[in-house]
Amino acid sequence: MPLQRHDKAPRDDLPRHAAGGQGSAHREETYEKGEYALIVEVCDDYRLREVEHITSPEALLVDCMVRSDCTAKDAIKMLLKDENNTYSKNELYAAHLALKERFGA
């Protein structure tokens, strides 16, 4: 069974260095150190897919503000709670700043 980084294993299960503890007076044995590579195959269901957005985050934000008669910050909160929203908080906040820069306020 492969060990993870924080798993504890009996000392006999760990690979031993060929020197066998020579040069280390305080230890009986030394162990190999180095890099290990882990190759993992991932099912297609678990791969991240790029989401194609139908509308821009700015349009979505303005639409929510108009329909709900609320501020941009409230609209962002509402959109983040919406399960159909595909934009992140950072994308919506950037859209808010872009609208603010374009239209002033």
Cα-based distances in Å from 87 to 43, 46, 62: 25, 20, 14
pLDDT digits (tens, 9 = 90+) for 4-62: 555 555 555 555 555 554 554 555 667 677 888 888 887 777 666 666 778 899 999 99
Question: Which of 21-25, 45-49, 75-79, 95-99 shows the lowest mean pLDDT across its residues?
Answer: 21-25
Q: How far is the C-alpha of 39 from the C-alpha of 26, rounded, in Å?
A: 36
Using the 8-state DSSP alphabet, how is residue 50 labeled? P
pTM: 0.51
